[in-house]
Amino acid sequence: MKTQVGIIGAGPSGLLLSQILHLHGIRSVVLERRSRDYVLSRIRAGVLEQGFTDMLRAAQVGARMDREGQIHEGFDIAFGGKRHRIDLAALTGGKTVMVYGQTEVQRDLFAARDAMGGTIITEAEDVTPHDVAGAAPYLTYRKDGSEGRIDCEFVAGCDGFHGVSRKAIPESVLKNFERVYPFGWLGILSETAPVSDELIYMNHERGFALASLRSANLSRYYIQSAAEEDLAQWPDERFWEEFRRRLPAEAAAKLVTGPSVEKSVAPLRSFVCEPMRYGRLFLAGDAAHIVPPTGAKGLNLAASDIHFLSRGLIDYFRKGDESGLQRYSEKALARIWKAERFSWWMTHLLHVFPENAGFGERIQRAELEYLVSSRAALTSLAENYVGLPFE
Ligand code: FAD
Ligand code: DHB
C-alpha cells in the first residue's frame, strides 16, 4: 500500500493528524497495535484547553463536544481544609476550559475517520518504521498472520510513551530528559453525581486528591498513591474512605459514593526527548514527552504538537514549502518545555513528597498561601491552566 503519511498509533494524536490531513487533501494510513474497543476503553484525561477545542471544531469533530461537554470558568484549590476558587475567566480575559473525556474525543475521531473513508488498521502487530533517514521510508506490520507494507513520504510517530517510533531514532541523536516522582495517582470513575460542579485540586497531609467529573452523573476522582499499587488492595470502600478524608469537610458531607466502573493507577513522570524529528520521522504526543497529570496538560500537548506538525505537512504538500517541517521540533519543544515546567510546578505545589518533611512542607504551605493571596501568582496559574498560545 502507498500513502503520503504513515501514522503509527490511533490515539488522539494519530487520529487528529489523519483527520486534519484528510481535510487538506493529504492521504494517510493509521496503524494501531490494539483493537478499537481497547482504545475506547481507556479512561484518561478530561480537561481540554480552548486551543484544542478550536482545533477539534476546525477538524469537524467538535459537534458532540459542544453539545455534551461542559465549559468550566474556574476550579478550586483546597488546603488546610478550605477551598479557594481560581476564576480562570476573570484572570485570563474570558478564557475557559472544556470538560469532555479523552475517551469521547477518541470516539468522535474514529467516527469522523470512518465517515470520511479513512484507513485505520487496528490490531497491527510488530509495526516497524524503516529507512526514515532516507528518501523512501516505509512501515511493515503483521495482521491476521500476513505481512503488510506501507510506503510513505513521511512517518508520524504517534504511538505513545511505549511505542516503537522513538526507538527508531539512533541513541547518538536522541537526548532524553526525565524525572520520575515517588508516587502515582489511583483513579476511579463512578456513576454518581460529582461532589462539586467544578474541579477541586486538594493538598492534604495524607496526600494529594482531585475531584473531577465527566457529566452530571459521572465522577472521576483521584488520590495520590504509591507509584505501583495492587488494585486488589483497593476495594471501592477503601478508596471512598481515603478520598473522603482528603476532601474539605463541607464537600465530604456531600460526597455520594457508589460502585466504581473503572479503577486504575498511573505512575507520575516528566519526560522529554529531543529532537522530535529524525529524517522523515516526526514524533508527536506521548511518544516524545510525558507530563505528570496534575496540570491536565498531556492530551493538550499532544494536540499542540499536531497543530505544528499538520501545518508543516500541509505547507509541504500544498506549496512545496519545507520550512514548517524543518522548524517542527524547535517550535513544538518550546511549548512543551513550558507545559513541563507548569506540570512539574503544580505537582510540587499539591503533592506530599516523602523527602520534604519539615522545611519543604512549610515552603509548600507558604507557596499555597502566597498563590491564593496574589493576583499576579493566580494570573500565572490561570494563563498556564487554560493553555499557552500555540505560536
Ligand atoms: P496515546 O493516547 O498513548 O496513543 C498512542 C497509541 O499508539 C495508542 O492507541 C497505542 O495503543 C498505540 N501504539 C503504541 N505502541 C504501538 C505500536 N508499537 N504500534 C502501533 N500502535 C502503537 N493526561 C491528562 O491530561 N490527564 C489525565 O488524567 C491523564 N491520565 C492518563 C492516564 C494514563 C494511564 C495514561 C497512559 C495517560 C494519561 N494522560 C492524562 C495523558 C494523556 O492521556 C496522553 O497525553 C494522551 O493520551 C496522548 O495522546 P497520544 O495520542 O500522543 O498517545
Ligand atoms: C482530570 C485529569 C487531570 O489530570 C486533571 O488535572 C484534571 C482532570 C480528569 O481525568 O478529569
pTM: 0.97
Judge whether residue 79 has pLDDT over 90: yes
CA distance 89 to 389: 16
Per the rule left: phi > 0, alpha: psi between -120 and 50, beta: everything else, 350 is alpha
Q: What is the pLDDT of residues 208-227, one digit of tens each?
A: 999 999 999 999 999 999 99
201 is catalytic: yes
Residue 314's contacts (CB-CB under 8 Å, 6 or more residues apart) are 20, 21, 24, 26, 324
24 residue type, one letter = H
- Measured from the alpha carbon of residue 6, the closest ligand is 1
As a whole number of angstroms, the distance between CA 160 and CA 39 comes to: 12
For the CA of 97, the nearest ligand: 2
Q: What is the pLDDT of residue 133?
A: 97
Q: What is the pLDDT of residue 357?
A: 87
Atom number in ligand 1 closest to CA 298: 45
- In this structure, the residues whose C-beta lies within 6 A of any atom of ligand 1 are 8-14, 31-34, 39, 44-45, 102, 124, 127, 158-160, 162-164, 266, 285-286, 293, 296-299, 302
Q: Which atom of ligand 2 is nearest to the CA of 45?
A: 10
CA separation (Å) from 354 to 182, 201, 351, 361? 8, 19, 9, 10
pLDDT tens-digit series, residues 277-330:
999 999 999 999 999 999 999 999 999 999 999 999 999 999 999 999 999 999
Closest by CA position to 157, among listed 309, 362, 34, 50: 309
Q: Is the pLDDT of residue 273 over 90?
A: yes
Give me the helix-helix angle, 323-350 and 359-373, nearest 10°: 110
Q: Compute the mean pLDDT over every residue in the chain, rounded to the nearest whole number.
A: 97
Q: Which atom of ligand 1 is nearest to the CA of 31?
A: 20
pLDDT of residue 68: 97
Could you give the CA distance from residue 184 to residue 236 in angstroms, rounded to a whole number? 18
Q: Which residues pair with 187 in a beta bridge?
A: 222, 264
Give the up-direction half-sphere exposure of residue 147: CA atoms within 13 A in the CB hemisphere. 4
Does the C-beta of 212 come closer than 6 Å to ligand 2?
A: yes
**Which residue in the list 293, 307, 316, 331 is annotated as catalytic?**
293
pLDDT score for 391: 80
Distance 114 CA to ligand 1 centre (A): 21
pLDDT reported for residue 36: 97
pLDDT band at 23 (very low <50, low <70, confident <90, very high): very high
pLDDT, tens digit, for every residue of 80-116? 999 999 999 999 999 999 999 999 999 999 999 999 9
Catalytic residue among 138, 141, 201, 222: 201
| Helical ranges in the chain per DSSP H | 12-23, 36-41, 50-58, 63-68, 88-91, 102-115, 236-246, 249-252, 298-319, 323-350, 359-373, 375-386
The answer to whether 204 is a known catalytic residue is no
**Which residues pair with residue 70 across a beta bridge?**
99
Residue nearest to atom 25 of ligand 1 (CA): 296
CA of 226 to the centre of ligand 2 (A): 18
Q: Distance from the CA of 33 to the center of ligand 1, in angstroms?
A: 12
Residue 267 has pLDDT above 90, yes or no: yes
38 carries an active-site annotation = no
Q: Which of 286, 291, 301, 385 to mutate to test the pocket of ligand 1 (most atoms within 8 A of CB)?
A: 286
Q: Which set of grid coordinates corresponds to residue 201?
A: 485540586
